[in-house]
Amino acid sequence: MFFYKEKILSPGQLKRLSDHKYSCESLSILDKFLQPWWDWLVSKIPIWLAPNLITIIGLIINILTTLVLVYYSPDAKAEAPWWAFILCALGLFAYQSLDAIDGKQARRTGTSTPLGELFDHGCDSVSTVFVAISACIAVQLGSYPSWMFFQCFCAITLFYCAHWQAYVSGTLRFGRVDVTEAQFTIMGIHLISAFFGPEIWSIKVTSIGIFELRHLILIMTVVCCSVPLYQLFIDICNGGVGKNGSSVAGTSVLSPVIPLSLVIVPAFIICRKSTEHVYENHPVLYILAFGLVAAKVTNRLVVAHMTRNEMDYFDSSLIGPAMLFLNQYFNFFIAEHIVLWICLIWVCFDLIRYSRQVCLEICDHMRIHLFKIVPSVTPQAIQQTSNKNGTATVSNNRQSRSRKHYH
């Protein structure tokens, strides 16, 4: 299983995962208006289509449409064609819609399992990285690398902290302005860039000529991130549902800050200390590499929450950033952007092999399939089958005796 010598999840973790119940609180403004659309859409989905397959199709669409944008603007400075922005907006809308109906399809087909929740959040962690990158390309933030770094890592940190809060309280909470609202805002940004061109974000909106239209996005990011983060930290510091105010796993409520710090702090240091300006010259590649490391760490936090288990601080995906750090520290002859590509390839491989094995272990434990719905066999069906088999046996015996008597 991709070079894993031992299983990732222990029997105790798998048992606790089987007992896990999804708990969520949402105050989203837009969700209630979108419910009729989601209900209609799921009614058109074939009953045989597995919920996890719906989720992964949405993620693939989102990734591919974003990569089209990255192809035309790898430095987040060049202007992509207008249709690429529309395609990216449609890809994000498709992902959001499919992500919203996978749970409905699971309930519709009677296949709701903890694996579905884990798979959904795992795809969301990857999607967050690509959505943040696409938004930066749409407003050409590559010209402001520090701002782009802040923008992308704000989104990644906010997603991680939401699951950190769930690890502490046992309930995933969404505010009035949350994921759905952010996604529609980014769709709007793509459409504006498509119809008016990305240069519209450079328009000066004050008489003194300092304030650009894109600064509104920075203000929105600061406001929309600071308020939820403040509430999340209040919930975390108020204590968890575990013994003596600990997390669901009985660990310190502050313990998840260490894995996140092991991603963000090296990303910042390597960015600032690079003599070749690896981040400034390759901002999308840099954000993508470190963003997927954060996605892997977030996945492990979700697994720790659902299995009520302690989260390890170090992770194999950190080997990628470590290569960058050592290459920079010892001043090796290898160009930093080459090491960055190696880092991205390793992180992708490590994320895929981890996700694959965790899903396989859960499927094996729960006797389910990841991308296929297996019809459940009810006791009535078993009884009917037994009766039919019994009738067939009696009939065959009678025919056999008749043949013997005839001969």
pLDDT in tens, 182-221: 899 999 999 999 999 888 888 877 655 567 777 777 787 7
* Amino acid identity for residue 144 in this structure: Y
pLDDT for 258 equals 93
Position 334 pLDDT exceeds 70: yes
In a domain, 3, yes or no: no
Range of the domain at 134: 11-366
Q: How many domains does the chain have?
A: 1
The pair of structure tokens assigned to 194 is: 């498509």
Query: 215 catalytic, yes or no?
Result: no
- Cβ contact 297:314 at 8 Å: no
pLDDT digits (tens, 9 = 90+) for 125-154: 999 999 999 999 999 988 889 989 998 999
Which three-class secondary structure state does DSSP give residue 173? Answer: strand
Express each pLDDT in 49-80 by its tens digit. Answer: 999 999 999 999 999 999 999 999 999 999 99
182: nearest Cα among 112, 131, 247, 255: 131
Could you tell me if residue 180 is inside a domain? yes
- Flag whether 392 is in a domain: no
Catalytic residue among 20, 121, 163, 369: 121
Q: What is the mean pLDDT of the chain?
A: 85
Residue partners of 276: CB distance under 8 A and separation at least 6 = 335, 336, 337
Residue 379 maps to a domain:
no
Identify the DSSP state of 214.
Answer: T
C-alpha closest to that of 20 among 387, 366, 326? 366
Q: What is the pTM of this model?
A: 0.87
Using the predicted structure, report yes or no on whether residue 3 has a pLDDT greater than 70.
no
Does any domain span residue 6?
Answer: no
Residues 331 and 273: beta-carbon distance below 8 Å: no
Whether residue 15 is contained in a domain is answered as yes
Residue 407, in any domain of the structure? no
From 92-106, 218-232, 289-303, 319-333, the region with the lowest mean pLDDT? 218-232
Percentage of the chain beyond pLDDT 70 is 89
Share of the chain above pLDDT 90, in %: 52
pLDDT digits (tens, 9 = 90+) for 92-117: 999 999 999 999 999 998 888 899 99
- Is residue 99, in this structure, part of any structural domain at all? yes
Comparing 26-30, 41-45, 62-66, 265-269, the range with the smallest average pLDDT is 26-30
